[in-house]
Amino acid sequence: DADVTQTPRNRITKTGKRIMLECSQTKGHDRMYWYRQDPGLGLRLIYYSFDVKDINKGEISDGYSVSRQAQAKFSLSLESAIPNQTALYFCATSDSADAPDNEQFFGPGTRLTVL
Partner 1 sequence: DAKTTQPPSMDCAEGRAANLPCNHSTISGNEYVYWYRQIHSQGPQYIIHGLKNNETNEMASLIITEDRKSSTLILPHATLRDTAVYYCIVRRWANNLFFGTGTRLTVIP
Q: What residues make contact with partner 1 under the rule CB under 8 A?
A: 4, 31, 33, 35, 40-45, 48, 58-59, 88, 90, 92, 94, 98-109, 111
8 CB-near residues (< 8 Å, 6+ apart): 21, 110
Q: How many CA atoms lie within 13 A of 61 on its CB side?
A: 11
- At its nearest, how many Å lie between partner 1 and the CB of residue 98? 5
- At its nearest, how many Å lie between partner 1 and the CB of residue 77? 20
Closer CB to partner 1, 1 or 98, in the complex: 98
Closer CB to partner 1, 78 or 107, in the complex: 107
Neighbours of 85 (CB within 10 A): 19
Look at residue 85 and give its three-state secondary structure. Answer: helix
